Structure 1
Amino acid sequence: MSKLRVGTIWLDGCSGCHMSFLDMDERIVELSQYMDVVYSPYVDAKEIPEDLDLFIVEGALSTDHDLEIIKDIRKNSKKILALGDCAITGNVSAMKNLAGTDAVLEKGYFDLADFNKGKYPDKIIPKLLDKVIPLNEAIDVDYFVPGCPTPADAIYAVLKGLVDGVEVDVSKYTRFGL
């Protein structure tokens, strides 16, 4: 049996779900018998590889750069797993939607700035979207695993289920906000 080629990324989120991934501890070694993580903050790959079996995505989409990346990920991946509440609903990242992009930029780059006050660094910072969105508003998503952060037990159960070809009732392991 060949190993699944897996990628992971966090976009607009806190990386808490990736920390939970690491909290699987010795179960990571077990899963490594069935999966090769070929793109991730954990490895040194610079480009999203082609022909991935599974891409695990944490975080919402808040910039034009996020949109480019997620479309590239979808194009190169057979399956996408939205990991955590930010990827599924926008969660904390989407709080910006209440105030609006202009208000957020005004506060961050004009009102609270100590350096370059009044100048948005548009050459080095990706352009903010008008609205922070969850993954499924930009691409088709195959699996949803909620949590903030997603518990390690839920991540393990879902990944082991995918390896074994068994559907996992994720509600036994997590819920939104837990």
Structure 2
Amino acid sequence: MERLKLATVWLGGCSGCHMSLLDLDEWLLELATVADLVYSPISDVKIFPSDVDLALVEGAVANDEHLELAHTIRRQTKTVVALGDCAVTGNVTALRNPLGSVRDVLQEVYINHGSPRAVVPDTSGIVPVLLDRVLPLHAVVPVDIFLPGCPPSAARIKGLIETLLAGKVPTEPVRFG
């Protein structure tokens, strides 16, 4: 049996989904016998590899780097999972959307309620460029499986991975659990 190439990705969110993944404790050691973790904030790999079997994508698409990475993940992955409510709906990350454009958000945060100097800092070239709207993953790229929850429990993540390891890969987008 060929080893599963597994990636976990953290876009705009709180990392709670990765914490649930880590809550799998000893089962992660079993998973390591059949899967290679090829990309993850846990392993600190910097370049998303090609020919990934399964990508668990946590978080919403909030900036230009997320947008580029989402497209790379979709191009280079067989099965893409929107993991958790931020990836599925935008959730907490999208709370800035009602404030309007990036310019409006920065005005509200730094000028109206933030900096005592009332100045928006120049971060050009230092941090990723924010998108005008935070988007759920499926608004940017096709998603194969939606696993909602804030965060989804370790048991649900394990159930999904076990189902996929058993060869039960959906042929159209599906909500798991």
Fold match by TM threshold 0.5: yes
Shift of 1:114: 5.0
2: distance between equivalents of 1:39 and 1:32?
14
Structure 1: which 5+ residue stretches go unaligned?
172-178
Equivalent positions of 1:55-134 (< 5 A) are 55-100=55-100, 101-111=102-112, 112-113=114-115, 117-134=119-136
Question: TM-score if structure 2 supplies the norm length?
Answer: 0.89
2: distance between equivalents of 1:66 and 1:28?
27
Question: TM-score if structure 1 supplies the norm length?
Answer: 0.89
- CA gap of 1:25–1:115, structure 2 versus 1, over 3 A, is farther
1: distance between equivalents of 2:45 and 2:169?
30
User: What is the match of residue 11 of structure 1?
Assistant: 11
Shift of 1:61: 0.4
User: What is the match of residue 152 of structure 2?
Assistant: 150
RMSD over aligned CA atoms reads 1.9
Shift of 1:102: 2.5
* Structure 1: 4+ residue segments shifted above 6 A: none
Report how many aligned residue pairs link the two structures. Answer: 171
| Segment of structure 1 superposing worse, 113-122 or 89-98 | 113-122
**Percent identical residues:** 44
Shift of 1:167: 6.7
Given that residues 110 and 119 in structure 1 are in contact (C-alpha distance below 8 angstroms), is that contact kept between their aligned partners in structure 2? no
2: distance between equivalents of 1:61 and 1:133?
5
Structure 2: which 5+ residue stretches go unaligned?
none
2: distance between equivalents of 1:129 and 1:44?
25
